[in-house]
Amino acid sequence: MAERLGRYTLRFPSRPAVLAGAAVVGTAEGEGPLRAEFDQIFPDDTLGESTFEKAESALQREAVALALKKVGKTPADADFIFAGDLLNQCTGSSFGLRDFGIPFVGVYGACSTMALALGLAGLFVDAKAAGLALAVTSSHFCSAERQFRQPLEYGGQRPPTAQRTATAAGASVLGAHEPGKPYLAAATFGRIVDLGVQDANNMGAAMAPAAARTVADFLRDTAMSPDDLDWIVTGDLGAVGTELFRTLLLKDHGVKLAEARHADCGLLLYDREKQDVHAGGSGCGCSASVFNSYILRRLQCGSLRRVLLVATGALLSQTSTLQGESIPCIAHAALVCAPGKGKE
């Protein structure tokens, strides 16, 4: 039975295990600093499919198949799949996962989806509503560009604040607690924050206030300080958003976050010196692939003991941008602990 901590945080006393994770990525991600961490790097971003959207669906399918394989399970063993993506009507998930026959809970949190899906899967396992639950999401540079901005063929220039949507998918398998496996200790579901940023090429700035608020909520609810955590890992704030996030955390919430205690998946995924990714990575697949490879591996071996994954999402659409609207944002957080090392 979940336990409410403070106003916004849920603790999972049964310690649902993150039994395995899988991360599959495209070419640019496979050329980045984390290349050795991924389960699969596709040499062709179409994955042999006829459209970018179908390629994105294929990414999700591969990630789920690999994650299940790691725990020796088949789709028939899974009780629920929590999935969403950035595509209109979340078709990356519905088309990618339609053949698995797993009860499907579609979620939408833009780039916050990995933490949102983890939190829901964790609650379902904790409440014994699910024995085995999957959390999965994806993004694709080419499908996202043409949907949120312009088709690639248009050749539009991107300003330095823009981020590169990761071509990637990540899937986690959750189940009842198992000694020796990392576990989901708590989750904080975010509130929507909209400070009036209207620039769809500066998502980091739009999302930073939401990340700061959710982290502040989590720390207050759990009576923790950043030093109780090894890392606070934001989803895809990038270079611009990362600076703003730390500033807002101190200024608005009185929380001093040392640089060594913070990492951002958008900055981990690419080498900004060598790769043309402007302010860093973004997209649901960014935090999904980094969490389910680099982060989870370090939790599995205990070199990281307590990680707060704070995935951030910009809840805009191309229509809302064209209508001159500002960008509502959200951040969901999941506390994942190394086996036997957690303090909840």
Cβ-contact 29, 289 below 8 angstroms: yes
| CA–CA separation, 17 and 70 (whole Å) | 14
Which value, in Å, is the radius of gyration of the alpha carbons in the chain? Answer: 18
| Footprint on this chain of its own copies (rule: CB under 8 A) | 1-4, 8, 10, 50-51, 53-54, 79-80, 84, 86-91, 94-95, 97-98, 101-110, 116, 120, 123-124, 126-129, 131, 147, 189-192, 194, 315-320, 323, 325, 328, 330
Give the nearer residue to its own copies in terms of CB position, either 103 or 302.
103
CB of 148 to its own copies, least distance (A): 9
CB of 13 to its own copies, least distance (A): 11
Give the nearer residue to its own copies in terms of CB position, either 79 or 199.
79
| CA–CA separation, 237 and 280 (whole Å) | 8
Cβ-contact 211, 331 below 8 angstroms: yes
CB of 117 to its own copies, least distance (A): 10
Q: Which of 282, 244, 289, 237 is nearest to 263 (CA)?
A: 237
CB of 62 to its own copies, least distance (A): 18
CB of 9 to its own copies, least distance (A): 10
Give the nearer residue to its own copies in terms of CB position, either 131 or 342.
131
Give the nearer residue to its own copies in terms of CB position, either 10 or 224.
10
Give the nearer residue to its own copies in terms of CB position, either 173 or 267.
173
How many CB atoms lie under 10 A from the CB of residue 246?
22
| CA–CA separation, 230 and 294 (whole Å) | 14
CB of 147 to its own copies, least distance (A): 8
Q: Return the bridge partners of 80, or none.
A: 133
- CB within 8 A of 53, min separation 6: which ones? 87, 91, 92, 95, 140, 143
CB of 105 to its own copies, least distance (A): 6
Give the nearer residue to its own copies in terms of CB position, either 115 or 249.
115
**Which amino acid is present at 27?**
T
Give the nearer residue to its own copies in terms of CB position, either 125 or 168.
125
Burial of residue 20 (CB within 10 Å: 0-12, 13-18, 19+) is: buried
Cβ-contact 173, 73 below 8 angstroms: yes
